[in-house]
Structure 1
Amino acid sequence: MAHEQNEHVQDTQSEQIDSSENVEQAGSVTVEDLKEQISKLEESLKLEKARAANAVYEAEKVKERLVREAENAKKFALEKFAKGLLESVDNLERAILASGEEKSPLLEGVELTLKSLITTLEKHEIAAVDTENGFNADLHQAVGIDPNAKSGEIGNVLQKGYTLSGRLLRPAMVTVGQ
Protein backbone atom coordinates (compact mmCIF):
# COMPACT_ATOMS: atom_id res chain seq x y z
CA MET A 1 0.00 0.00 0.00
CA ALA A 2 2.88 2.38 0.76
CA HIS A 3 4.34 1.60 -2.68
CA GLU A 4 1.00 2.51 -4.32
CA GLN A 5 0.91 5.77 -2.38
CA ASN A 6 4.47 6.62 -3.46
CA GLU A 7 3.54 5.95 -7.10
CA HIS A 8 0.46 8.15 -6.74
CA VAL A 9 2.50 10.96 -5.19
CA GLN A 10 5.04 10.69 -8.02
CA ASP A 11 2.22 10.72 -10.59
CA THR A 12 0.71 13.79 -8.94
CA GLN A 13 4.08 15.55 -8.87
CA SER A 14 4.70 14.74 -12.52
CA GLU A 15 1.22 16.06 -13.40
CA GLN A 16 2.03 19.24 -11.50
CA ILE A 17 5.33 19.59 -13.35
CA ASP A 18 3.62 18.91 -16.67
CA SER A 19 0.90 21.44 -15.96
CA SER A 20 3.46 24.03 -14.83
CA GLU A 21 5.46 23.39 -18.02
CA ASN A 22 2.28 23.82 -20.04
CA VAL A 23 1.61 27.08 -18.27
CA GLU A 24 5.16 28.27 -18.88
CA GLN A 25 4.85 27.25 -22.54
CA ALA A 26 1.64 29.20 -22.85
CA GLY A 27 3.51 32.20 -21.56
CA SER A 28 0.84 33.40 -19.20
CA VAL A 29 -0.96 31.84 -16.31
CA THR A 30 -4.71 32.03 -16.47
CA VAL A 31 -7.04 31.91 -13.51
CA GLU A 32 -8.80 28.88 -14.99
CA ASP A 33 -5.51 26.97 -15.20
CA LEU A 34 -4.74 27.75 -11.59
CA LYS A 35 -8.26 26.76 -10.49
CA GLU A 36 -7.92 23.51 -12.42
CA GLN A 37 -4.57 22.82 -10.79
CA ILE A 38 -6.02 23.60 -7.35
CA SER A 39 -8.96 21.25 -7.90
CA LYS A 40 -6.58 18.47 -8.99
CA LEU A 41 -4.47 19.02 -5.90
CA GLU A 42 -7.58 19.05 -3.67
CA GLU A 43 -8.76 15.74 -5.18
CA SER A 44 -5.30 14.28 -4.68
CA LEU A 45 -5.32 15.47 -1.07
CA LYS A 46 -8.75 13.92 -0.46
CA LEU A 47 -7.55 10.61 -1.89
CA GLU A 48 -4.44 10.61 0.28
CA LYS A 49 -6.48 11.49 3.38
CA ALA A 50 -8.83 8.59 2.63
CA ARG A 51 -5.90 6.21 2.16
CA ALA A 52 -4.33 7.35 5.41
CA ALA A 53 -7.62 6.93 7.29
CA ASN A 54 -8.03 3.46 5.78
CA ALA A 55 -4.51 2.51 6.81
CA VAL A 56 -5.14 3.68 10.39
CA TYR A 57 -8.43 1.73 10.47
CA GLU A 58 -6.75 -1.44 9.19
CA ALA A 59 -3.92 -1.08 11.71
CA GLU A 60 -6.44 -0.76 14.58
CA LYS A 61 -8.31 -3.86 13.41
CA VAL A 62 -5.07 -5.86 13.22
CA LYS A 63 -4.11 -4.65 16.70
CA GLU A 64 -7.53 -5.65 18.12
CA ARG A 65 -7.30 -9.09 16.47
CA LEU A 66 -3.80 -9.68 17.86
CA VAL A 67 -4.87 -8.67 21.36
CA ARG A 68 -7.90 -10.98 21.14
CA GLU A 69 -5.75 -13.89 19.90
CA ALA A 70 -3.19 -13.30 22.66
CA GLU A 71 -5.95 -13.33 25.31
CA ASN A 72 -7.34 -16.59 23.92
CA ALA A 73 -3.87 -18.13 23.86
CA LYS A 74 -3.39 -17.18 27.52
CA LYS A 75 -6.81 -18.55 28.48
CA PHE A 76 -6.41 -21.88 26.78
CA ALA A 77 -2.68 -22.47 27.29
CA LEU A 78 -3.56 -24.42 30.43
CA GLU A 79 -5.80 -26.87 28.56
CA LYS A 80 -3.43 -29.89 28.51
CA PHE A 81 -2.27 -29.24 32.06
CA ALA A 82 -5.85 -28.92 33.27
CA LYS A 83 -6.84 -32.20 31.60
CA GLY A 84 -4.03 -33.90 33.50
CA LEU A 85 -5.24 -32.44 36.79
CA LEU A 86 -8.76 -33.68 36.14
CA GLU A 87 -7.47 -37.25 36.36
CA SER A 88 -6.24 -36.46 39.88
CA VAL A 89 -9.63 -35.00 40.79
CA ASP A 90 -11.32 -38.16 39.49
CA ASN A 91 -8.99 -40.39 41.49
CA LEU A 92 -9.51 -38.42 44.70
CA GLU A 93 -13.30 -38.60 44.23
CA ARG A 94 -13.06 -42.37 43.65
CA ALA A 95 -10.98 -42.74 46.82
CA ILE A 96 -13.65 -40.88 48.81
CA LEU A 97 -16.41 -43.07 47.37
CA ALA A 98 -14.43 -46.26 48.02
CA SER A 99 -13.97 -45.38 51.70
CA GLY A 100 -17.70 -45.75 52.28
CA GLU A 101 -19.23 -44.41 55.48
CA GLU A 102 -16.09 -44.84 57.56
CA LYS A 103 -14.56 -41.52 58.68
CA SER A 104 -10.83 -41.52 59.25
CA PRO A 105 -8.01 -38.98 59.31
CA LEU A 106 -6.84 -40.35 55.95
CA LEU A 107 -10.28 -39.75 54.42
CA GLU A 108 -10.34 -36.21 55.83
CA GLY A 109 -6.94 -35.58 54.25
CA VAL A 110 -8.15 -36.82 50.87
CA GLU A 111 -11.28 -34.65 51.13
CA LEU A 112 -9.20 -31.56 52.02
CA THR A 113 -6.81 -32.27 49.14
CA LEU A 114 -9.75 -32.58 46.72
CA LYS A 115 -11.30 -29.37 48.04
CA SER A 116 -8.00 -27.52 47.63
CA LEU A 117 -7.53 -28.83 44.11
CA ILE A 118 -11.06 -27.88 43.07
CA THR A 119 -10.59 -24.37 44.55
CA THR A 120 -7.39 -23.96 42.53
CA LEU A 121 -9.14 -25.14 39.37
CA GLU A 122 -11.97 -22.66 39.92
CA LYS A 123 -9.45 -19.80 40.30
CA HIS A 124 -8.30 -20.62 36.77
CA GLU A 125 -11.86 -20.70 35.40
CA ILE A 126 -12.14 -24.50 35.31
CA ALA A 127 -15.64 -25.49 36.39
CA ALA A 128 -17.65 -28.70 36.54
CA VAL A 129 -20.30 -29.19 33.87
CA ASP A 130 -23.89 -28.93 35.11
CA THR A 131 -25.58 -32.35 35.19
CA GLU A 132 -28.66 -31.31 37.17
CA ASN A 133 -30.66 -29.63 34.39
CA GLY A 134 -31.07 -32.46 31.93
CA PHE A 135 -29.03 -33.82 29.05
CA ASN A 136 -27.19 -31.39 26.77
CA ALA A 137 -25.33 -32.98 23.87
CA ASP A 138 -22.85 -30.07 23.83
CA LEU A 139 -21.76 -30.75 27.42
CA HIS A 140 -22.57 -34.40 28.03
CA GLN A 141 -21.55 -37.66 26.40
CA ALA A 142 -24.25 -40.33 26.65
CA VAL A 143 -22.59 -43.71 27.19
CA GLY A 144 -25.64 -45.72 28.13
CA ILE A 145 -29.35 -45.81 28.85
CA ASP A 146 -30.75 -45.63 32.36
CA PRO A 147 -34.16 -47.34 32.51
CA ASN A 148 -35.03 -45.54 35.76
CA ALA A 149 -34.52 -42.01 34.37
CA LYS A 150 -37.08 -39.96 32.44
CA SER A 151 -36.54 -39.20 28.76
CA GLY A 152 -33.93 -36.47 28.30
CA GLU A 153 -32.89 -36.64 31.95
CA ILE A 154 -29.49 -37.73 33.22
CA GLY A 155 -29.72 -40.93 35.20
CA ASN A 156 -26.19 -41.48 36.40
CA VAL A 157 -22.95 -39.47 36.10
CA LEU A 158 -20.07 -41.82 35.41
CA GLN A 159 -17.43 -39.10 35.05
CA LYS A 160 -17.75 -35.37 35.66
CA GLY A 161 -17.23 -32.99 32.78
CA TYR A 162 -15.38 -29.68 32.98
CA THR A 163 -15.13 -26.40 31.11
CA LEU A 164 -12.18 -24.03 30.82
CA SER A 165 -13.24 -20.38 30.51
CA GLY A 166 -16.61 -21.46 29.16
CA ARG A 167 -15.11 -23.82 26.58
CA LEU A 168 -15.65 -27.56 26.99
CA LEU A 169 -12.55 -29.23 28.37
CA ARG A 170 -14.03 -32.68 28.90
CA PRO A 171 -17.66 -33.77 28.44
CA ALA A 172 -19.49 -35.43 31.32
CA MET A 173 -19.97 -39.16 30.70
CA VAL A 174 -23.56 -39.95 31.66
CA THR A 175 -26.38 -42.41 31.26
CA VAL A 176 -29.69 -40.97 30.09
CA GLY A 177 -33.34 -41.93 30.16
CA GLN A 178 -35.00 -43.19 27.04
Structure 2
Amino acid sequence: MNETPNPAAHPDAAAAAAPETQAAAPAPAPTLEEQLAALQAKLTEANDSFLRAKAEAENTRRRAEEEVSKARKFAVEAFAESLLPVKDSLEAALAIQNATNEQLLEGTNATLRQLSAALERNKVLAINPPAGTKFDPHQHQAISVVPAEQDANTVVTVLQRGYLIADRVLRPALVTVAAPK
Protein backbone atom coordinates (compact mmCIF):
# COMPACT_ATOMS: atom_id res chain seq x y z
CA MET A 1 0.00 0.00 0.00
CA ASN A 2 1.30 3.38 -0.95
CA GLU A 3 0.75 5.87 1.72
CA THR A 4 1.71 9.44 1.48
CA PRO A 5 3.43 10.44 4.64
CA ASN A 6 1.47 12.87 6.69
CA PRO A 7 3.68 15.57 8.14
CA ALA A 8 1.40 15.97 11.04
CA ALA A 9 1.85 12.31 11.89
CA HIS A 10 5.63 12.62 12.05
CA PRO A 11 6.78 15.71 13.96
CA ASP A 12 10.42 15.33 12.75
CA ALA A 13 9.31 15.37 9.15
CA ALA A 14 7.27 18.52 9.69
CA ALA A 15 10.24 20.28 11.30
CA ALA A 16 12.53 19.27 8.42
CA ALA A 17 10.04 20.53 5.83
CA ALA A 18 9.54 23.88 7.52
CA PRO A 19 13.03 25.41 6.89
CA GLU A 20 12.77 24.61 3.20
CA THR A 21 9.55 26.49 2.97
CA GLN A 22 10.99 29.48 4.81
CA ALA A 23 14.15 29.56 2.65
CA ALA A 24 12.19 29.28 -0.53
CA ALA A 25 10.25 32.46 0.20
CA PRO A 26 11.67 35.37 -1.85
CA ALA A 27 13.13 38.35 0.02
CA PRO A 28 11.08 41.47 -0.29
CA ALA A 29 12.44 43.83 -3.02
CA PRO A 30 13.99 47.04 -1.73
CA THR A 31 11.78 50.04 -2.07
CA LEU A 32 12.71 52.95 -4.32
CA GLU A 33 13.59 55.04 -1.27
CA GLU A 34 16.01 52.33 -0.05
CA GLN A 35 17.60 52.06 -3.50
CA LEU A 36 17.95 55.86 -3.66
CA ALA A 37 19.55 55.98 -0.21
CA ALA A 38 22.01 53.21 -1.14
CA LEU A 39 22.97 54.98 -4.37
CA GLN A 40 23.38 58.30 -2.54
CA ALA A 41 25.67 56.62 0.01
CA LYS A 42 27.76 55.15 -2.82
CA LEU A 43 27.91 58.56 -4.53
CA THR A 44 29.01 60.23 -1.31
CA GLU A 45 31.71 57.58 -0.81
CA ALA A 46 32.94 57.90 -4.43
CA ASN A 47 32.97 61.70 -4.17
CA ASP A 48 34.96 61.51 -0.93
CA SER A 49 37.48 59.12 -2.52
CA PHE A 50 37.79 61.44 -5.53
CA LEU A 51 38.41 64.50 -3.36
CA ARG A 52 41.06 62.64 -1.33
CA ALA A 53 42.82 61.44 -4.48
CA LYS A 54 42.69 64.93 -5.98
CA ALA A 55 44.16 66.45 -2.81
CA GLU A 56 46.92 63.83 -2.71
CA ALA A 57 47.80 64.48 -6.37
CA GLU A 58 47.92 68.22 -5.72
CA ASN A 59 50.17 67.73 -2.68
CA THR A 60 52.50 65.47 -4.68
CA ARG A 61 52.68 68.02 -7.51
CA ARG A 62 53.40 70.86 -5.06
CA ARG A 63 56.13 68.85 -3.28
CA ALA A 64 57.75 67.99 -6.62
CA GLU A 65 57.73 71.68 -7.66
CA GLU A 66 59.35 72.65 -4.35
CA GLU A 67 62.06 69.99 -4.77
CA VAL A 68 62.84 71.15 -8.32
CA SER A 69 62.97 74.75 -7.14
CA LYS A 70 65.38 73.86 -4.32
CA ALA A 71 67.53 71.76 -6.67
CA ARG A 72 67.85 74.71 -9.06
CA LYS A 73 68.51 77.18 -6.27
CA PHE A 74 71.23 75.13 -4.59
CA ALA A 75 72.69 73.31 -7.63
CA VAL A 76 75.98 75.21 -7.43
CA GLU A 77 76.32 74.85 -3.66
CA ALA A 78 78.73 71.88 -3.78
CA PHE A 79 80.74 73.49 -6.58
CA ALA A 80 81.00 76.81 -4.73
CA GLU A 81 81.95 75.00 -1.53
CA SER A 82 84.82 73.21 -3.28
CA LEU A 83 86.12 76.55 -4.65
CA LEU A 84 86.28 78.27 -1.26
CA PRO A 85 89.72 76.80 -0.35
CA VAL A 86 91.07 78.14 -3.66
CA LYS A 87 89.81 81.63 -2.79
CA ASP A 88 91.30 81.32 0.71
CA SER A 89 94.69 80.38 -0.76
CA LEU A 90 94.66 83.34 -3.15
CA GLU A 91 93.75 85.75 -0.34
CA ALA A 92 96.52 84.31 1.85
CA ALA A 93 99.03 84.80 -0.98
CA LEU A 94 98.01 88.43 -1.40
CA ALA A 95 98.39 89.01 2.35
CA ILE A 96 102.13 88.16 2.24
CA GLN A 97 104.01 91.41 1.72
CA ASN A 98 107.57 90.29 0.96
CA ALA A 99 107.16 86.90 -0.70
CA THR A 100 110.07 85.53 -2.70
CA ASN A 101 109.65 84.31 -6.26
CA GLU A 102 110.05 80.72 -5.04
CA GLN A 103 107.32 81.18 -2.45
CA LEU A 104 104.98 82.72 -5.04
CA LEU A 105 105.66 79.89 -7.48
CA GLU A 106 105.10 77.24 -4.81
CA GLY A 107 101.85 78.90 -3.64
CA THR A 108 100.60 79.29 -7.20
CA ASN A 109 101.24 75.61 -7.94
CA ALA A 110 99.47 74.56 -4.72
CA THR A 111 96.49 76.79 -5.56
CA LEU A 112 96.35 75.36 -9.10
CA ARG A 113 96.29 71.83 -7.63
CA GLN A 114 93.41 72.85 -5.34
CA LEU A 115 91.49 74.32 -8.27
CA SER A 116 92.10 71.27 -10.46
CA ALA A 117 90.92 68.95 -7.67
CA ALA A 118 87.79 71.07 -7.12
CA LEU A 119 86.97 70.95 -10.84
CA GLU A 120 87.49 67.18 -11.02
CA ARG A 121 85.31 66.61 -7.94
CA ASN A 122 82.55 68.46 -9.74
CA LYS A 123 83.00 66.50 -12.98
CA VAL A 124 84.65 69.35 -14.92
CA LEU A 125 87.26 67.54 -16.99
CA ALA A 126 89.91 68.96 -19.32
CA ILE A 127 89.94 68.37 -23.07
CA ASN A 128 93.64 68.19 -23.90
CA PRO A 129 94.11 65.96 -26.97
CA PRO A 130 97.63 64.69 -27.66
CA ALA A 131 99.28 65.49 -31.00
CA GLY A 132 98.06 63.20 -33.76
CA THR A 133 94.52 62.85 -32.35
CA LYS A 134 91.84 63.04 -35.04
CA PHE A 135 90.20 66.48 -35.10
CA ASP A 136 86.74 66.33 -33.47
CA PRO A 137 84.63 69.43 -34.20
CA HIS A 138 82.41 68.60 -31.21
CA GLN A 139 85.31 68.96 -28.75
CA HIS A 140 87.93 70.95 -30.66
CA GLN A 141 87.96 74.36 -32.30
CA ALA A 142 90.55 74.72 -35.08
CA ILE A 143 92.37 78.05 -34.92
CA SER A 144 94.58 77.37 -37.91
CA VAL A 145 95.66 74.70 -40.36
CA VAL A 146 99.44 74.18 -40.51
CA PRO A 147 101.69 71.94 -42.59
CA ALA A 148 102.89 69.03 -40.45
CA GLU A 149 104.49 65.61 -40.76
CA GLN A 150 101.38 63.78 -39.59
CA ASP A 151 98.01 62.74 -40.99
CA ALA A 152 95.73 65.47 -42.30
CA ASN A 153 92.92 66.68 -39.99
CA THR A 154 94.75 65.67 -36.83
CA VAL A 155 95.66 67.88 -33.87
CA VAL A 156 99.17 69.37 -34.07
CA THR A 157 99.15 71.48 -30.88
CA VAL A 158 96.71 72.56 -28.21
CA LEU A 159 96.68 76.31 -27.73
CA GLN A 160 94.09 76.31 -24.94
CA ARG A 161 92.53 73.37 -23.12
CA GLY A 162 88.82 72.82 -23.41
CA TYR A 163 86.54 71.51 -20.69
CA LEU A 164 83.67 69.05 -20.35
CA ILE A 165 81.08 69.04 -17.64
CA ALA A 166 79.28 65.72 -17.31
CA ASP A 167 80.11 64.77 -20.93
CA ARG A 168 78.88 68.12 -22.25
CA VAL A 169 81.35 70.55 -23.81
CA LEU A 170 81.73 73.60 -21.61
CA ARG A 171 84.46 75.05 -23.82
CA PRO A 172 86.12 73.40 -26.84
CA ALA A 173 89.89 73.00 -26.93
CA LEU A 174 91.61 75.56 -29.23
CA VAL A 175 93.90 73.57 -31.53
CA THR A 176 95.99 73.81 -34.67
CA VAL A 177 95.25 71.11 -37.23
CA ALA A 178 97.54 69.41 -39.77
CA ALA A 179 96.94 70.51 -43.36
CA PRO A 180 96.30 67.98 -46.11
CA LYS A 181 99.47 66.98 -47.99
Normalised by the size of structure 1, how large is the TM-score? 0.54
Which residue number corresponds to residue 13 of structure 1? Answer: none
Which residue number corresponds to residue 123 of structure 1? Answer: 117
In structure 2, the CA distance between the partners of 1:154 and 1:108, relative to structure 1 (3 Å rule), is farther
CA contact (8 A) 1:155 1:177 kept: yes
In structure 2, the CA distance between the partners of 1:166 and 1:76, relative to structure 1 (3 Å rule), is farther
In structure 2, the CA distance between the partners of 1:174 and 1:164, relative to structure 1 (3 Å rule), is same
**Counterpart secondary structure, 1:63:** helix
Residue-by-residue CA offset, 1:34-59 (whole Å, 9 max, x unaligned): 10111110221121122122112212
Which residue number corresponds to residue 162 of structure 1? Answer: 163
In structure 2, the CA distance between the partners of 1:106 and 1:122, relative to structure 1 (3 Å rule), is same
In structure 2, the CA distance between the partners of 1:106 and 1:163, relative to structure 1 (3 Å rule), is farther
CA contact (8 A) 1:135 1:153 kept: yes
In structure 2, the CA distance between the partners of 1:49 and 1:40, relative to structure 1 (3 Å rule), is same
Q: Any stretches of 5+ residues in structure 2 without a counterpart?
A: 1-30, 88-99
Which residue number corresponds to residue 45 of structure 1? Answer: 48
Which 4+ stretches in 1 moved above 4 angstroms? Answer: 75-78, 105-109, 163-169
**Are 1:35 and 2:38 an aligned pair?**
yes
In structure 2, the CA distance between the partners of 1:64 and 1:36, relative to structure 1 (3 Å rule), is same
**Are 1:141 and 2:120 an aligned pair?**
no
In structure 2, the CA distance between the partners of 1:109 and 1:75, relative to structure 1 (3 Å rule), is same
**Counterpart secondary structure, 1:124:** helix
Specify which structure has the higher proportion of helix: 1
**Count of residue correspondences:** 126
AA aligned opposite 2:147: P
CA distance in 2, matches of 1:75, 1:140: 28
CA contact (8 A) 1:161 1:173 kept: yes
Greater shift, 124-133 or 55-64, is seen at 124-133
Residue-by-residue CA offset, 1:73-111 (whole Å, 9 max, x unaligned): 436779xx9xxx9xxxxxxxxxxxxxxxxxxx947853x
CA distance in 2, matches of 1:46, 1:67: 32
**Counterpart secondary structure, 2:75:** helix
Identity %, equivalent residues? 21
AA aligned opposite 2:140: H
In structure 2, the CA distance between the partners of 1:74 and 1:135, relative to structure 1 (3 Å rule), is farther
Q: Any stretches of 5+ residues in structure 1 without a counterpart?
A: 1-27, 86-104
